[in-house]
């Protein structure tokens, strides 16, 4: 049996229960049928139906918000050490079931197993990291003034909504849910309609780990129904959202009447700038990894290569050769580097840019083709002879598609890099330290790596500027979102109090 056949066999075992029972909403520790009936989840690998999924509506959201409200004081007031223990249990159970999570995620989203097995473990790491912060999460400061002892303390904001996208859905959900739970909040999770499978596993794992009923609730459904209702619900105090920039703007509008606190992690069209003095072999590896791994369906992907004219020809030639070698195939084959795109709608969007590139006058140096009609497979694609005004340079394609743009001077590179509505990440390749300092200072992005691909370190702030988002996650930044700062002043003596009407 090949490794692929063995993985398909294991996947089949894990899918049985989903085929039989579908996916219900999970509210207060109970399976609840969707008020709107069901919708079908399909696999991008062969377009087959995976299972029925509860079609959640405003009614289901209301039930889940009530459950999260009821559970809030129990969870908030649980001794931090006990809460920490439960979250560590979640991490351990994720590790135990990492293979199952990865197999299901690959089938649901089309992501290659080589990346999803790591993503599942990163989900465990998120729980472990934030579990270790639980004990200090409520700590504050003391700031003495002449008449008062001022102290601050932090308290969890209350029940929160978490709305997640379909790209690496398990890892991204844990990235939001773990700090929310560590802060003492209860959660209503609305996973992406295109990838409901692993959200179900997460809530099951959390309950098995000892999370009291109602602390984490999952309502499936669509953005304009369940998602909107979550943003509008008065009992939900904040929305942690990951998704497209245009949806981020809707999230803000929908939350206006209830004065919702929003944390928005949105789209990107991130530049990687390669100067002639850089280690070009390492730069090449990083450029390829950061756009063609995870099907290019990652917010931090470097989808714009801004390359110095003096090295452009040679760099693009090597790039083209490597891109043509990338293995597209079944996501469960360990050799596969790129699997199918997540949905028909997304496949149509990504492939539409092949014509747009031609119309713009760019060259399709690699790819630009689909592969088979069986699933949503495309060849990794490289556009050259592009400039920054073209749509292929300005719009988030969110697939394995790279646009290469030349520059001559450092100033020109910076202008091109910043001339974009987005500002999530930037990658700079140079061995000139002073230039790196100067350039990163002026580059408009929330996160920048120099001579490196994106290497996530959980204590550092994660988030974007401009249309890429508002707010930061990671370390204590996550707690600032999920908690309220409270100031309390204690008089230290008999200071003068103004006497009105005396």
- Please report, as ranges, the residues that interact with ligand NAD according to CB under 6 A: 163-167, 172, 190, 192-193, 222-224, 227-228, 231, 242-244, 247, 250-251, 254, 265-268, 299, 396, 398, 424, 464, 468-469
R_g of the chain, CA atoms, integer Å: 24
Q: Which is nearer to ligand NAD, 134 or 188 (CB)?
A: 188
Alpha helices in 295-343 (DSSP H): 309-325
Q: How far apart are CA 312 and CA 417, in angstroms?
A: 16
Question: Does the active-site annotation cover 96?
Answer: no
Report d(CA 332, CA 421) in Å as an integer. Answer: 36
Tokens of residue 391, six digits? 């749509």
CA distance 284 to 305: 10
If the CB atoms of residues 57 and 89 are measured against ligand NAD, the closer one turns out to be 57
How far apart CA 91 and CA 129 sit, in angstroms, is 9
CA 460 to CA 250: how far, in whole Å?
A: 28
Catalytic residue, chosen from 232, 299, 316, 444, is 299
What letter does residue 226 receive in the DSSP assignment? I
Q: How far is the CB of 272 from ligand NAD (least distance, A)?
A: 16
- Name the residue whose CB lies closest to ligand NAD: 223
> Nearest approach, Cβ of 200 to ligand NAD (angstroms)?
14
Task: Give 247 or 293: the residue with its C-beta nearer to ligand NAD.
Answer: 247
Of 266 and 341, CB closest to ligand NAD: 266
Is residue 469 within 8 Å of residue 264, measured between CB atoms?
yes
- Pairing between strand 304-308 and 401-407? parallel
- Minimum CB distance to ligand NAD smaller for 78 or for 250: 250
CA distance 212 to 206: 9
Q: Helix %, strand %, coil % for the chain, to 5? A: 45, 20, 35
C-beta closer to ligand NAD: residue 266 or 273: 266
Sole residue written with tokens 């092949």: 354
CB of 147 to ligand NAD, least distance (A): 45
CB of residue 194 vs ligand NAD: minimum separation in angstroms? 7
Tokens of 219: 């309502």
- Give least dist CB 163 to ligand NAD, A: 5
Annotation marks residue 106 as catalytic: no
The answer to whether 236 touches 190, Cβ cutoff 8 Å, is no
β-strand partners of 160? 187, 238
Please tell me which residue in 125, 232, 265, 395 is annotated as part of the active site: 265
Tell the smallest beta-carbon distance from residue 222 to ligand NAD (Å). Answer: 6
By annotation, the residues acting in catalysis are: 265, 299
């Amino acid at each position: 049996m090949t490794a692929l056949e063995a993985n398909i066999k294991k996947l089949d075992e894990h899918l049985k229960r989903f085929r039989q029972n579908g996916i219900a909403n999970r509210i207060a520790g109970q399976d609840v049928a969707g008020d709107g009936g069901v919708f079908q989840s399909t696999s991008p690998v062969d377009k087959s139906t995976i299972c029925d999924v509860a079609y959640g509506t405003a009614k289901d959201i209301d039930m889940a918000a009530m459950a999260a409200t009821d559970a809030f004081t129990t969870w908030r007031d649980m001794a931090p050490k006990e809460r920490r223990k439960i979250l560590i249990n979640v991490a351990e159970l994720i590790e135990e079931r990492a293979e199952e999570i990865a197999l299901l995620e690959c089938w649901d989203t089309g992501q290659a197993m080589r990346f999803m097995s790591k993503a599942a473990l990163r989900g465990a790491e998120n729980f472990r990291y934030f579990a270790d912060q639980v004990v200090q999460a409520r700590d504050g400061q003391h700031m003495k003034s002449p008449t008062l002892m001022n102290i601050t303390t932090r308290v969890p904001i209350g029940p929160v909504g978490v709305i997640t996208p379909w790209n690496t859905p398990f890892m991204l959900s844990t990235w939001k849910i773990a700090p929310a739970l560590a802060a003492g909040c209860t959660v209503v999770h609305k996973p992406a309609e295109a990838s409901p499978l692993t959200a179900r596993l997460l809530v099951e794992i959390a309950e098995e780990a000892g999370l009291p009923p109602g602390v984490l609730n999952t309502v499936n459904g669509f953005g304009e129904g369940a998602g909107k209702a979550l943003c509008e619900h008065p009992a939900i105090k904040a929305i942690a959202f990951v998704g497209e920039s245009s949806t981020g703007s809707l999230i803000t509008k929908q939350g206006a009447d209830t004065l919702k606190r929003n944390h928005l992690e949105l789209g990107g069209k991130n530049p990687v700038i390669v100067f002639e003095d850089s280690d070009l072999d390492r730069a090449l590896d990083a450029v390829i990894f950061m756009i063609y791994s995870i099907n290019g369906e990652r917010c931090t992907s470097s989808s714009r290569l801004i390359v110095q004219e003096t090295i452009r020809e040679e760099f693009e030639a090597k790039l083209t050769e490597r891109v043509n070698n990338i293995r597209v195939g079944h996501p469960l084959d360990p050799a596969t580097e790129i699997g199918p795109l997540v949905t028909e709608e997304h496949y149509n969007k990504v492939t539409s840019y092949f014509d747009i590139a031609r119309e713009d006058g760019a060259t399709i140096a690699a790819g630009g083709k689909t592969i088979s009609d069986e699933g949503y497979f495309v060849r990794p694609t490289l556009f050259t002879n592009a400039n920054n005004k073209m749509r292929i340079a300005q719009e988030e394609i969110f697939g394995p598609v790279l646009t290469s743009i030349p520059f001559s001077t450092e100033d020109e590179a910076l202008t091109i890099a910043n001339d974009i509505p987005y500002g999530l990440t930037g990658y700079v390749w140079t061995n000139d330290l002073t230039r790196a300092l100067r350039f990163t200072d002026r580059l408009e992005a929330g996160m920048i790596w120099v001579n490196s691909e994106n290497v996530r370190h959980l204590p550092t702030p994660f988030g974007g500027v401009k249309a890429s988002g508002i707010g930061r996650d990671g370390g204590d930044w996550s707690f600032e979102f999920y908690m309220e700062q409270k100031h309390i002043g204690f008089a230290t003596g008999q200071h003068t109090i103004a006497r009105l009407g005396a």
